[in-house]
Amino acid sequence: MKNILKISNIEKYYGNKSNITKAINNISFEVEEGEFVAIMGASGSGKTTLLNCISTIDKVTSGHIFVGDEDITTLKGNALNKFRREELGFIFQDFNLLDTLTAYENIALALTIQGKNPKEIEKRILDIAKKLNIKDVLKKYPYQMSGGQKQRVASARAIITNPKLILADEPTGALDSKSAKMLLENFEYLNKDFKATILMVTHDAFTASYASRVIFIKDGKIFNEIRKGEDSRKEFFDKIIDVVTILGGDLSDVV
């Protein structure tokens, strides 16, 4: 399988010479095309910093991040924005749909800011709406939609640009259990049916159990890594809990 994301020896320091905080301390790993990877760790372990570096919101102190064949740590200015627009998709816990726009327009926005041709935009939206079963809500505003519909619209927006990588930061953090389950099933669907590569950051074992691989981070370093393989989700969840237990009492809320 082809590598979508390759992280090699990245470090991220905060502060000045006299008082350095190593948020990320020499992390390397790779994500293959079509993988669904969860990064777990307690608050302060550096997992969000890692995600920020991958999504180019933050810059690494040293090391390299390759998305496809491109080293994104060398990108600057407009090239950076272009990269973020065209190669990455984001899914947020509170959907982040614009309340003034209809579902159609919300999805279209991801393409219009890339300067795509209107005809193509229309075709692609109808196409993805059919697949995600949101054809009926395209003309509706977010306040007229159910939570599940909003979630699917947000997903449609994230994948319509055919991003190499979909990033999600604590996607279930503020959701009730029903909505969280809905979101995660949606992720599974995107991963399986759309072959989308997903990288998700979470501190919640239940959420992580939907992934195909979980990377544990502690104090800015990779602590462990487990794969789902042929396990059922329940078995995988138990394995995650085992690692969390070894990891220490830091992860208190494992559900």
Partner 1 sequence: MLFKLSLKNIKKSIKDYAIYFFTLILGVAIFYVFNAIESQTVMLQVSKSTHELIKLMNTMLSGVSVFVSFILGFLIIYASRFLIKRRKKEFGIYMTLGMSKGKISKILLFETLLIGIISLIVGLGLGVILSQLMSIIVANMFEADMTKFAFTFSSSAVGKTILYFGIIYLLVMIFNTFSVSKCKLINLINANRKNEKIKVKNPVICTLIFIISVGLLGYAYYNVTALVNSLTQSKLILMIIFGCIGTFLLFWSLSGLILRIVKSIKKIYLKGLNCFVLKQIDSKVNTTVFSMTIICLMLFLTISILSSGLSLKNSMTSNLKELAPVDIELYKPLDISGNDIYGVPYSNEVIEDSKTSVKDTLDRMNFDYNKNFKDMIDFNSYATNELTVRNTLGNYLSEVENAFPALNLDTAEEIVKISDYNKVAKLYGNKTYELDDDEYMIIADFDSMIEIRNKSLSDNTNITLLGKTYSPKYSECKDGFISMSSNHINTGIILVPDDAVDESIRARNHLIANYNANDEEGRKNIENQLTSDELGDIVNTTLLEASSKISIYEASIGLSALITFIGIYLGIIFLISSAAILALKELSESSDNKERYTILRKIGVDEKMINKSLFVQIAIFFLLPLFIAIIHSIFGLMFANEILITFGNEHLLTSIIVTACILIFIYGGYFIITYLCSKNIIKS
CB closer to partner 1, 198 vs 240 = 198
Taking the complex as a whole, the smallest distance from the CB of residue 18 to partner 1 amounts, in Å, to: 29
CB closer to partner 1, 5 vs 27 = 5
Taking the complex as a whole, the smallest distance from the CB of residue 126 to partner 1 amounts, in Å, to: 13
Taking the complex as a whole, the smallest distance from the CB of residue 194 to partner 1 amounts, in Å, to: 18
Residues 6 or more apart in contact with residue 8 via CB below 8 angstroms: 28, 63, 64, 65, 66
Taking the complex as a whole, the smallest distance from the CB of residue 78 to partner 1 amounts, in Å, to: 7
CB closer to partner 1, 81 vs 232 = 81
Taking the complex as a whole, the smallest distance from the CB of residue 66 to partner 1 amounts, in Å, to: 19
CB closer to partner 1, 87 vs 236 = 87
> What residue spans of 6-74 are helical by DSSP H?
47-54
Taking the complex as a whole, the smallest distance from the CB of residue 253 to partner 1 amounts, in Å, to: 25
Taking the complex as a whole, the smallest distance from the CB of residue 144 to partner 1 amounts, in Å, to: 9
> Treating both helix axes as pointing N-terminal to C-terminal, what angle do 147-159 and 103-112 enclose, rounded to 10 degrees?
20
Q: In the beta sheet, which residues pair with residue 25?
A: 11
Q: Considering only CA atoms, give the Rg of the chain.
A: 18
CB 207 within 8 A of CB 185: no
CB 83 within 8 A of CB 27: no
Number of H helices, E strands in the chain: 8, 10
Virtual torsion, Cα 131, 133, 135, 141, nearest 10 deg: -120
| φ and ψ of 202, to 5 deg | -155, 160
CB closer to partner 1, 137 vs 214 = 137
CB closer to partner 1, 118 vs 248 = 118
Indicate the pairing of strand 221-227 with strand 213-218: antiparallel
CB 155 within 8 A of CB 129: no
CA atoms of 221 and 224, how far apart (whole Å): 9
Contacting residues toward partner 1, per CB under 8 A = 78, 81, 84-86, 88, 90, 92, 96-101, 105, 108-113, 115, 118-119, 121-122, 141, 143, 157
Structure tokens at 218: 């502690």
CB closer to partner 1, 38 vs 91 = 91
